[in-house]
Chains A and B, each alone.
Chain A
Amino acid sequence: QQQVKQSPQSLIVQKGGISIINCAYENTAFDYFPWYQQFPGKGPALLIAIRPDVSEKKEGRFTISFNKSAKQFSLHIMDSQPGDSATYFCAATVTSGTYKYIFGTGTRLKVLA
Chain B
Amino acid sequence: NAGVTQTPKFQVLKTGQSMTLQCAQDMNHNSMYWYRQDPGMGLRLIYYSASEGTTDKGEVPNGYNVSRLNKREFSLRLESAAPSQTSVYFCASSFSGKQETQYFGPGTRLLVL
State the A residues within 8 Å of B (CB). Answer: 6, 9, 32, 34, 36, 41-46, 49, 89, 93, 95, 98-101, 103-106
Chain B residues near A44: list those with CB within 8 A. 43, 90, 104
Contact sample, A vs B, 16 pairs, CB 8 Å cutoff: A34-B100, A34-B101, A42-B106, A43-B104, A44-B90, A45-B103, A49-B100, A89-B43, A95-B100, A100-B33, A100-B48, A100-B58, A101-B102, A105-B41, A106-B42, A106-B43
Q: B interface, by DSSP: helix, strand, loop or mixed?
A: strand
The residue on B at minimum CB distance from A32 is: B100
Q: Say yes or no: A43-B100 contact (C-beta < 8 A), given A98-B48, A100-B48.
A: no
B79 within 8 A of A: no
A9 and B40: CB pair below 8 A? yes
State the B residues within 8 Å of A (CB). Answer: 4, 31, 33, 40-45, 48, 50, 56, 58, 90, 92, 94, 96, 100-107
B105 and A43: CB pair below 8 A? yes
Write the nearest CB–CB distance from B7 to chain A, whole angstroms.
14
Chain B residues near A101: list those with CB within 8 A. 43, 45, 102
B40 and A99: CB pair below 8 A? no
A99 and B94: CB pair below 8 A? yes
Q: How far is it, in angstroms, between the C-alpha of A49 and the C-alpha of B94 when the chains are bound?
A: 15
